[in-house]
Amino acid sequence: MTDMTSNTPSRSQSQSAADEGAGREEKRLGFALTLPAQLLVLFIALFPILMQVYISLTDWSPLDGIPWYRAYELWIGLTNYVDLAGDPRFWSAIWRTLIVMLICVPVQFLLGLGLAILFVDEFPGRRAMYSTILVPMMVVPAVAGYMFFMLFQSGGPINGILSFLLGSSVQIAWLSDPDLALLGVIISDIWQWTPLMFLILLAGMLSVPQDQQMAAVLLGAGWWRRFFTIVLPRMKTIIVIAIAIRVIENFKVFDNFYIITGGGPGVATETISIYIYKVTQNDLIWGYVAAIALAILIVLSIVSGMAISRMRKG
């Protein structure tokens, strides 16, 4: 049937076939009318990506003195991708990013889950503590970066506290020791983003109906059983979302890492986004950068695609 606001002549004939015909016609008209807007949106969404694909197939750099749209003059095909596949610095940056992610996400998840469990039930001071826990998340990442940069100085507070606790002077060079520097940035990421995990997981936990939990209590289920058979299964979707958000964010993490260590010492904390930044700023081979960025985009799309399909099922 046509919708009520339509005013085409065929409506007066009150013949359903005619009405349907008009409906199809109207749909086509509607489509035609919105087409320019749709194309614009599509263009805005796709243009940067298409441009990247284009540039990544060339050897273009802004210093070459030719505009980007004439980059085809420097067409090199898949060379950038081949180079990328054999670029040890790229692979080690990916590897490092994965390590950061594989440590940060589970730790953030477990800490967030633990905190959420503590905060499900009412207790005195819950509100105040809740707000306090969320503070790190609100700090501008660059500011958080400077904070941890100061904390981890060899004469800084962390060594100070350790000295006090151990009773002897501790002089650990947190940020200039290649083995420890990664730990520093990992700690800063955990500090800053556990609250987000906590927030999402708490919301999920609070949405599990109280009466189901009460029913489980009355049916004799203890805390653990209740948690694993009632609460966790009902939180599946939200857990997938929370983890997917952090995985993707961790791939893109930049500000505080850049400020705390600048990717150093050497390349000890060079994650993929810092590597991209350095290639862009220092080496100015944009075609190559575009290739890296696209490779990462594909990886992240796969990750979020898996998360979404998991959610659809759950």
Closest by CA position to 273, among listed 291, 258, 288: 258
Residue 228 beta carbon to another protein: minimum distance, rounded to whole angstroms: 12
Residue 226 beta carbon to another protein: minimum distance, rounded to whole angstroms: 10
The type of residue at 205 is: M
184 to 223: interface string for another protein, x by CB under 8 A: -------------------------x-xx-xxxxxxxxx-
Q: Which is nearer to another protein, 89 or 225 (CB)?
A: 225
Instruction: Name the one range near another protein by CB under 8 A: 39-47, 100-108, 195-203, 228-236.
Output: 228-236
Q: Which is nearer to another protein, 216 or 290 (CB)?
A: 216
* 106 sits near another protein (criterion: CB under 8 A): no
What stretches of the chain show up as alpha helix (H) in DSSP? 16-56, 79-85, 88-120, 126-138, 141-151, 157-166, 178-206, 210-218, 223-226, 232-252, 255-260, 272-278, 286-313
Which residue's structure tokens are 């991708």?
A: 81
Tokens of 280: 């862009």
Gap between the Cα atoms of 233 and 163, Å rounded: 45
Q: Are 60 and 286 spatial neighbours (Cβ–Cβ below 8 Å)?
A: yes
The site that binds another protein (CB under 8 A) totals a number of residues, namely: 17
Q: Looking only at residues 233 through 292 of this chain, which bind another protein when binding is defined by CB under 8 A?
A: 233-234
Residue 229 beta carbon to another protein: minimum distance, rounded to whole angstroms: 8
Gap between the Cα atoms of 250 and 255, Å rounded: 11
Residue 291 beta carbon to another protein: minimum distance, rounded to whole angstroms: 44
Q: Which is nearer to another protein, 162 or 241 (CB)?
A: 241
Partnered with residue 58 across adjacent β-strands are 75
Q: Which is nearer to another protein, 231 or 289 (CB)?
A: 231
Residue 217 beta carbon to another protein: minimum distance, rounded to whole angstroms: 6
Q: Which is nearer to another protein, 168 or 210 (CB)?
A: 210
150 to 189: interface string for another protein, x by CB under 8 A: ----------------------------------------
Tokens of 202: 């708490």
Those residues with Cβ within 8 angstroms of residue 11's Cβ, 6 or more apart along the chain or in another chain: 2, 19, 22
* 229 sits near another protein (criterion: CB under 8 A): yes
Instruction: Name the one range near another protein by CB under 8 A: 68-76, 160-168, 224-232, 286-294.
Output: 224-232
* 122 sits near another protein (criterion: CB under 8 A): no
Those residues with Cβ within 8 angstroms of residue 79's Cβ, 6 or more apart along the chain or in another chain: 59
Cis before residue 265, ω within 30 degrees of 0? yes
Q: Which is nearer to another protein, 210 or 281 (CB)?
A: 210
3-state helix, strand, coil in the chain (%, to 5): 80, 0, 20
Q: Interface residues with another protein (CB under 8 A)? A: 209, 211-212, 214-222, 225, 229-230, 233-234
